[in-house]
Amino acid sequence: MAGTWVFVEQRDGNIRKVTFEMLSEAKNYGDEVSAVVFGKGVEALAPEFAKFGADKVYVVEGDIFSNYNTGAYVAQMAAMISEYKPNAVLFAHTFGGRDFASRLAQKIDAGLVTDAIDAEISAGKGVFTRAIYAGKAISKVEVTTDPILATIRPGVFEVVEGGAGAGEVVKPAAAATDADVYQVIKEFVPTVSARPELTEAEVVVSGGRGCKGPDGIKIVEELADLLGAGVGGSRASIDSGWLGHELQVGQTGKVVNPNLYIACGISGAIQHLAGMSSSKFITAINTDPEAPIFGVTDFGVVGDLFKVVPLLVDELKK
């Protein structure tokens, strides 16, 4: 058995934190841990994975793998799974990760649990915890196939450095060809932001309809920048065009798991809570003492964000 594989989420050599979270978690399974990286010029990344416990690093290089595309990645991974026979393969629950894992699962006739918030893998058995119904219920699901496939929600596992692994580089044969590619990526427009990405940020500051417009959002952004935080929004502020759609937090948007979530002028609709209620610490500023957001806050401030947030910024600067 070739233990647990962690598929590396990266673009242009920038590795997503969730990769290290999954490697750190996989160490707990007491089996061999491998990182699997596809891309171009990615072999140089191998030592990074060893630092977080990878015993092996499977490196697949080639033009066809330079950016994620379902057909090529699935063909390659399916061939590798049949050759090396991992017990479990973990992917990040990102747009790419869930797309990859679902198509792969069907191709190799395997079960898949997506968006897992906890995992127990031992003796060839994989049981995962999921938050369902927008976080209003949880389920425990066992994958009854070999291999076990799952996508893991970013931010749920701690990154533990120091479980140093050998990081032995393995170079599987390239199995994907141009004939496997069925999507033509015409354009990729990266989101340019100096702020941390929402699913990776330690602190997220979000603004909702209570911000009333771009000026209110600026107040929220100022607080975020002071804390080196990611900026997010509710559907109301996104739909109003005050923030980019990639910044929506909630059921339809991103699920965030920061250490601290600060909700400004957000009522706390269930669809919003689905995206942030598992944050470690939650605070909110809202004029309405009855706002449902106060049902999930550790520290709630009933007040006007236009008054409280600027004063908070002054206070933090002290």
Partner 1 sequence: MKVLVCVKQTFDTEAKIDLKDGKISDAGINLIINPYDEVAVEGAIQLKEKKVISEVVVVAAGSDKAMDTIRTALAMGSDRGILVKQDTDADEYSRAVALAAAIKEENPDLILAGHVASDDGSSQVPTRIAEILGLPHINVITSLEIADGKATCSSEADGGTQVTEVTLPAVISSQVSWNEPRYPSMKGIMQAKKKPVATVDAVAAEDKVKIIEFGLPPAKEAGIKIEEDPDVAAAQLADFILNTAKAEVKA
Q: Read off the amino acid at residue 260.
A: L
246: partner contacted, choices ligand FAD, partner 1, none (Cβ within 5-8 A by kind)? partner 1
Count CB-CB contacts under 10 A for residue 190: 7
- Indicate left, alpha or beta for 23 from its phi (over 0: left) and psi (-120 to 50: alpha): alpha
Among the listed residues 15, 103, 170, 175, the single contact to partner 1 using CB under 8 A:
103
Closer Cβ to ligand FAD, 1 or 311, answer by number: 311
Q: Cβ 193 to ligand FAD, closest distance in Å? A: 19
Whether the link from the prior residue into 154 is cis, omega within 30° of 0, is no
* First and final C-alpha spacing in the chain: 56
Residue 203 β-bridge partners? 260
Q: Does 252 bind partner 1 (CB under 8 A)?
A: yes
Give the whole-angstrom CA distance, residue 58 versus residue 78. 14
User: Binding string, 243-282, against ligand FAD, x = CB under 6 A?
Assistant: -----xxxxxx-----------xxx-x-xx--x-------
- Indicate left, alpha or beta for 140 from its phi (over 0: left) and psi (-120 to 50: alpha): beta
Closer Cβ to ligand FAD, 86 or 233, answer by number: 233
Please report, as residue ranges, which positions from 215 to 234 form the binding site for ligand FAD (by CB under 6 A): 234
256: partner contacted, choices partner 1, ligand FAD, none (Cβ within 5-8 A by kind)? none
Q: Does 288 bind ligand FAD (CB under 6 A)?
A: yes
Phi and psi at 117, nearest 5°, equal -110, -5
Count CB-CB contacts under 10 A for residue 282: 23
Q: Does 144 bind partner 1 (CB under 8 A)?
A: yes
Structure tokens at 112: 């898949």
Give the whole-angstrom CA distance, residue 313 versus residue 121. 45
Are the beta carbons of 160 and 24 closer than 8 angstroms?
Answer: yes
Closer Cβ to partner 1, 5 or 294, answer by number: 294
Give the whole-angstrom CA distance, residue 113 versus residue 189. 30
Report strand pairing: 125-132 vs 137-143.
antiparallel
Stretch that binds partner 1, among 25-33, 171-179, 210-218, 224-232 (CB under 8 A): 224-232
291: partner contacted, choices ligand FAD, partner 1, none (Cβ within 5-8 A by kind)? ligand FAD
Q: Does 31 bind partner 1 (CB under 8 A)?
A: no
Among the listed residues 183, 213, 218, 241, the single contact to partner 1 using CB under 8 A:
183
Q: Does 82 bind partner 1 (CB under 8 A)?
A: no
Among the listed residues 85, 171, 218, 245, the single contact to partner 1 using CB under 8 A:
245
Q: Does 208 bind ligand FAD (CB under 6 A)?
A: yes
What single-letter DSSP state applies at residue 254?
A: B
Among the listed residues 66, 102, 172, 175, the single contact to partner 1 using CB under 8 A:
102
Q: Does 171 bind partner 1 (CB under 8 A)?
A: no
Closer Cβ to partner 1, 43 or 225, answer by number: 225
User: Binding string, 270-309, against partner 1, x = CB under 8 A?
Assistant: xx-----x--xxxx-x---x----xxxxxxxxxxx--xxx
Count CB-CB contacts under 10 A for residue 173: 9
